[in-house]
Chains A and B, each alone.
Chain A
Amino acid sequence: MTVSALTGTRIRERRLSLGLRQGQVAAEAGISASYLNLIEHNRRNVTPDVLLRLADALEVDRQALAEGAGSDMVEDLRAAAAGLPGARAEVDRLEEFAGRYPGWAALTAALQARAGGLERAVESLNDRMTHDPHLSAALHELLSALTSVRATAAILDETSDLEPDLQARFHRNLHLDSERLAGGAEALVAFLDGSDTAREQGIIAPQEEVEDWLSGQGWHLAPLETGAVAALDSGIAALASSAARVLARAHVARIVADVKALPLGPFTKALAALGPDPGRLAAEFGTDVLAVMRRIALLPGSNVGLVVCDGSGTLVFRKPARGFPLPRYGAACPLWPLYAALARPMAPVRMQVETAGPSGARFRTLAFCQTRLPGGFAGPELREAAMLILPDPGPRSGETLGIGSTCRICPRAECVARREPSITREGL
């Protein structure tokens, strides 16, 4: 176990917090009070045996005394400091802070996590408000009904000589529009509440519904490994919109084909032997690269993310990777290697990327684009590109590409590919 230079400080802090005297603790640990005094002032190293006895005497975990805050805690505190650079936190004394005041450090880290979560929620809602076609349609419906109600009510109020048949007609319009307004408002409130009502009323996008369903299955449709396609019927039938059910069935059909081409057992073995190289695995099994990429990302327990886009660049499938934020709607970051692949069909793109933000994470991305000619040589060429997102704990390479999620929520102010200003604090 590593014993840090501040172990003595932590022992002293712990003793004082318990209201114990040096003599009491020293006696219980079987050492002299003067030796404990030297330890507490970091002037003597503490042996593992003494550390264990001191930890028992202070009723604390030995590791907590020896190592203090874990690296995760220090990273969380560093992120908190980076989040509010104006506060001028003493970043060079992070470990000392975490060691001396573990409770306050944990609280600061928890507040940072909470603030981060809230910021992400705001970004996500803003993203949705800006780009969600379903929400846009719901708002349009509401405003149209409101416009009609306002204009009709004003006519009824301001026209004293309105003919009876026109009066009756405008009253009926008013009634119908007020009903429409009430229904629209209810749907909108439900949507903003995130309740199931929004789902039932089709405000949630079909693609999002399917992804929610897949996420609930851990992204792996286990029954398909044994050909039990019917086992998924009830889950698909429970999806709220017919469009989502169509998309889910199309996904299932695709995975059935993937399972046939890449059986779970042999594929898992080959993946372990060859590594996550879609090209080599595709050659090994005599199938296409995109099928292998889906199989890698959708294996049970896989932490690999996957995004797929069509020829327009629209994301048609999104399995997130932890730390790699994906836009819910609208266009993604144009710097994603996915789009480099889309522009060069059949040419593999391999690149290390780093996400934006104070705690930018690194990923290894593998992107590839395939074309189809469903209408033959006379028909249009359809493109489909996919990008695997693999967590990359390794060091930053010289050619790491800084990317974002989507311009609207990306803090990289100086990005050469920026389409529109960011709403995030860092981007303002």
Chain B
Amino acid sequence: MGKSVLLIEDEENIAEAIRFILSRDGWQVTHLAVGHGAAEAAAQLMPDMVILDHMLPGVSGLDILTALRANPATLRLPVLMLTAKGQPRDREAATRAGADSFMTKPFANAEILAEVRALAGRQPP
């Protein structure tokens, strides 16, 4: 069985594209379109990594990341933040909140695939 990714992204078409790219590479992708309950879902699913959108309706990606890092079960879960905000202060905020990596939209498919592979590979066995 391939490794799993939890994708938290409210833009349906972006999510569909990412899901397709990762599935073709052998990943099992679970998609959540809303932020509410996402941290709890991650703790329950325990995927190999999380792709987390910065701007989600209702709950921000940073809030979800903070909740993930506050839970011992998901403390070390690799998280790749996606954002349309490329400013240094947003990157710093994501890093401070505990993001392992940060990718600015619009990204190339090959870039996100490489980043996901690198992050999952970094995870201790």
Mask: chain B, 9-31; 1 = CB below 8 Å from A; 0 = not: 00101101110110010000000
Q: Would you call A287 an interface residue if the criterion is a C-beta within 8 Å of the partner chain's C-beta atoms?
A: no
Which residue of chain A is the closest to B84 with respect to CB atoms?
A143
Q: Are B16 and A173 in contact (CB under 8 A)?
A: yes
CB closest residue in chain A, given B87: A130
B17 x A148 contact (CB < 8 A): yes
**B17, A151: Cβ atoms under 8 Å?**
yes
User: Which of chain B's residues has its CB closest to A136's CB?
Assistant: B85
Interface size of A in residues (CB-CB distance below 8 Å): 21
Tell me, yes or no, whether A139 is within 8 Å of chain B by CB.
yes
Q: Is B106 touching A147 in the complex (CB atoms < 8 A)?
A: yes
Are B84 and A154 interface neighbours, CB within 8 A? no
**Which A residues are in CB contact (< 8 Å) with B122?**
none
Contact A148 B11 (CB under 8 A): yes
Q: Is A18 an interface position by the 8 A CB rule?
A: no
List residues 152-204 of chain A with CB under 8 A from any CB of chain B.
152, 154-155, 158-159, 166, 169-170, 173, 176-177
Are the CB atoms of B24 and A159 closer together than 8 Å? yes
Bound CA span A147–B17, Å: 10
A173 and B13 within 8 A (CB): yes
A146 interfacial contact with B, CB 8 Å: yes
Query: Which residues of chain B (72-109) have a CB below 8 Å from chain A?
Result: 84-85, 105-109
Interface positions of B from 48 to 91, Cβ below 8 Å from A = 55, 84-85
Q: Does the CB pair A158–B109 fall under 8 Å?
A: yes
Contacts of A169 in B (CB 8 A): 16
What 1/0 flags go to A138-152 for Cβ under 8 Å of B? 011001101111111
Say whether, besides A140-B55, A176-B13, A147 and B84 are in contact (CB < 8 Å): yes
Find out whether the CB atom of A166 lies under 8 angstroms from the CB atom of B20.
yes
Q: Which residues of A contact B21 (CB under 8 A)?
A: 151, 155
User: Looking across the interface, which residue of chain A has its beta carbon closest to that of B55?
Assistant: A140
Question: Which residues in B have their C-beta under 8 angstroms from that of A139?
Answer: 84
CB pair A144 B105 closer than 8 Å: yes
* Contact residue among B17, B24, B85, B105 (Cβ-Cβ distance under 8 Å from A146): B105
Find out whether the CB atom of A155 lies under 8 angstroms from the CB atom of B109: yes
- Of all chain A residues, the one with the shortest Cβ separation from B20 is A155
* Among candidates B11, B20, B24, B85, residue contacting A147 with C-beta atoms closer than 8 Å: B11
> Chain A: which residue is nearest B82 at the CB level?
A147
A176: chain B residues within 8 A (beta carbon) = 13
- A152–B17 Cα distance when bound, in Å, is 6
Are A154 and B108 also in contact (CB < 8 A) when A140-B84, A143-B84, A166-B20 are?
yes
Whole-angstrom distance between the Cβ of A22 and the nearest chain B Cβ = 68
Cα A20 to Cα B91 with chains together (Å): 72
In contact, B14 and A151 (Cβ under 8 angstroms): yes
Q: How far is the CB of A180 from chain B (nearest CB, A)?
A: 9
Q: A140 to B14, alpha carbons, bound, how many Å? A: 13
A150 touching B108, Cβ below 8 Å: yes
Q: Is the CB of B108 within 8 A of A144?
A: no
- Which residues in A have their C-beta under 8 angstroms from that of B17? 148, 151-152, 155, 170, 173
Q: Tell me the complex Cα distance, A136–B63, Å.
A: 20
B107: A residues at CB distance < 8 A: 147, 150-151
Contact of B106 with A146 in the complex, beta carbons under 8 Å? yes
Cα A158 to Cα B110 with chains together (Å):
11
Output the nearest chain A residue to B104 by Cβ-Cβ distance: A143
Q: Shortest distance in angstroms between A127's beta carbon and chain B's nearest beta carbon?
A: 15
Compute how far the CA of A143 lies from the CA of B105 in the bound complex, rounded to whole angstroms. 6
Q: What residue in chain A is nearest B105 (Cβ atoms)?
A: A147
Cα–Cα distance between A177 and B107 once the two chains are bound (Å): 16
Tell me the complex Cα distance, A140–B107, Å: 14
A154 to B84, CA, bound (A): 19
Q: How far is it, in angstroms, between the C-alpha of A380 and the C-alpha of B25 when the chains are bound?
A: 54
User: Which residues does chain B contribute within 8 Å of A143, judged by CB atoms?
Assistant: 84, 105-106
CA distance A176 to B18 in the complex (A): 17
Q: In the complex, which of the residues B18, B24, B84, B85 contacts A151, with contact meaning CB atoms closer than 8 Å?
A: B18
- Rounded to whole angstroms, the CA-CA distance of A151 and B85 in the bound complex is 18
Given contacts A140-B55, A155-B21, contact A147 B109 (CB under 8 A): no
Rounded to whole Å, the gap between the CB of B31 and the closest CB of chain A is 14
Give the distance to chain A from B61, nearest Cβ to Cβ, in Å: 13
Smallest beta-carbon distance A184→chain B, Å: 12
Q: Can you offer 9 A-B residue contacts whose CB atoms are under 8 A? A: A148-B14, A151-B107, A152-B13, A152-B17, A169-B16, A170-B16, A170-B17, A173-B17, A176-B13
Chain B residues within CB distance 8 Å of chain A: 11, 13-14, 16-18, 20-21, 24, 55, 84-85, 105-109
The 3 nearest A-B residue pairs measured at CB = A151-B17, A143-B84, A147-B106
Given contacts A150-B107, A151-B109, 5 further A-B contacts (CB under 8 A): A144-B14, A146-B105, A147-B105, A151-B107, A152-B17
